[in-house]
């Protein structure tokens, strides 16, 4: 009996324990108010990653863009000219000397300004001397001149310059000749410094260039620049005309002389009468003058000089 009660108590306790351990079922909201539950929210899947687009290719700039400065371009550098060989140096120096001699010879006959003529004579003499020195050295060194692009260019420029000078006259000729001298000597100096001296191999040829030719050419350049400034100043002054001289006033005519005053006529005295009154003016010379005679006297006729004559008395 006691055992059966114990079993019953254990059974009831187990049932109560089981009922307490299970959670109550979730209430259905639709069963409460009849509303339809909202659909469950779903998380969208991430979009697939895309590769970045490549940058657009650069287009060549148009003329307008180039003018506005929106694009920049680097101009290609001028090619560096190669140094000249000794044989080419000889040909270039010959061509340079000949160019200046030919131009100066034209100036000796056509130049108007005396200083331009003197400069042309000097250029002719100095470059002739330089050419002779060079010829002796070339013979000594047994060198043969060889043309290059520069020597051929100088030969072509010589003919063009001489033809241009021959077509000019007066002050225009002087200015053009001096301008050519400035340009020629500057070009030769640049050649010596950039292509001739760097390429010269022979010691004697280099010595001639450094101690003789280059100093002389530099001196000629400075003299040509000074002469150019002198011609420019003279041209500016000569443009203004001089003022004409003011005419002189004509000489004043001589003042006429005053006529001589005639002598005053003297009065005459009649016989037994009184001296005539009042002599007449010399300006009335030659006119009949009536003089009152003395008592019983008569009128005497006037003399040529206005002098009265003596009247005969009354008896």
Spatial distance between the Cα atoms of 234 and 171, rounded to a whole number of angstroms:
10
The pLDDT confidence band at residue 82, using thresholds 50, 70 and 90, is confident
Spatial distance between the Cα atoms of 292 and 308, rounded to a whole number of angstroms:
11
Report pLDDT digits (tens) over 48-74: 555 555 555 544 444 444 444 445 556
Q: Is 306 left (phi over 0), alpha (psi -120 to 50) or beta?
A: left
The pLDDT confidence band at residue 234, using thresholds 50, 70 and 90, is confident
Cα 266–chain centre separation: 97
Structural tokens at position 281: 């003016």
Report pLDDT digits (tens) over 254-307: 444 444 444 444 444 333 334 333 334 434 443 443 444 444 334 333 333 334
Residue-range domain boundaries for the chain: 86-236
Q: What is the pLDDT of residue 212?
A: 94
Rg of the chain, C-alpha, whole Å: 67
Q: Is the pLDDT of residue 81 over 50?
A: yes
Which of helix, strand or coil describes residue 275? strand
Please tell me the least confidently modeled range out of 21-35, 98-112, 125-139. 21-35
Q: pLDDT over 90 for what percent of the chain?
A: 47
Asked whether 30 and 37 are in contact (CB, 8 A), the reply is yes
Q: How far is CA 292 from CA 134, 268, 277, 303, in A?
A: 128, 9, 7, 15
CATH class of 86-236: mainly alpha
Q: Cα-flanking dihedrals φ and ψ of residue 115, to 5°?
A: -70, -30
Q: Is the pLDDT of residue 194 over 90?
A: yes
- Average pLDDT of the chain, as a whole number: 70
């Amino acid at each position: 009996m006691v055992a059966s009660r114990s079993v019953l108590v254990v059974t009831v306790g187990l049932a109560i324990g089981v009922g307490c351990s299970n959670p109550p079922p979730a209430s259905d909201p639709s069963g409460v108010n009849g509303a339809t539950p909202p659909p469950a929210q779903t998380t969208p899947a991430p979009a697939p990653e895309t590769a970045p687009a490549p940058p657009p290719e650069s287009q060549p700039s148009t003329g307008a863009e180039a003018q506005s400065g929106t694009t920049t371009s680097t101009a290609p550098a001028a090619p560096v000219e190669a140094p000249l060989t000794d044989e080419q140096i000889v040909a270039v120096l010959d061509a340079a000397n000949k160019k200046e001699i030919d131009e100066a010879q034209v100036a000796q006959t056509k130049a108007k300004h005396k200083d331009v003529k003197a400069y042309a004579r000097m250029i002719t003499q100095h470059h002739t001397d330089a050419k002779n020195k060079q010829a002796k050295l070339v013979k000594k060194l047994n060198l043969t001149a060889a043309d290059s692009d520069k020597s051929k260019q100088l030969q072509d420029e010589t003919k063009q310059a001489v033809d241009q000078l021959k077509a000019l006259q007066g002050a225009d000729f002087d200015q053009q000749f001096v301008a050519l001298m400035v340009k020629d000597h500057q070009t030769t100096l640049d050649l010596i410094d950039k292509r001739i001296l760097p390429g010269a191999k022979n010691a004697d040829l280099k010595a001639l260039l450094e101690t003789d030719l280059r100093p002389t050419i530099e001196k000629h350049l400075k003299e040509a620049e000074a002469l150019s400034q002198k011609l420019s100043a003279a041209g500016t002054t000569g443009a203004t005309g001089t003022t004409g001289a003011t005419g002189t006033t004509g000489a004043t005519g001589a003042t006429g002389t005053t006529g001589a005053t005639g002598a005053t006529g003297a009065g005459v005295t009649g016989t037994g009468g009184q001296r005539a009154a009042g002599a007449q003016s010399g300006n009335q010379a030659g006119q009949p003058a009536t003089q009152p005679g003395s008592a019983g006297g008569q009128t005497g006729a006037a003399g040529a000089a206005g002098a009265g004559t003596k009247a005969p008395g009354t008896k």
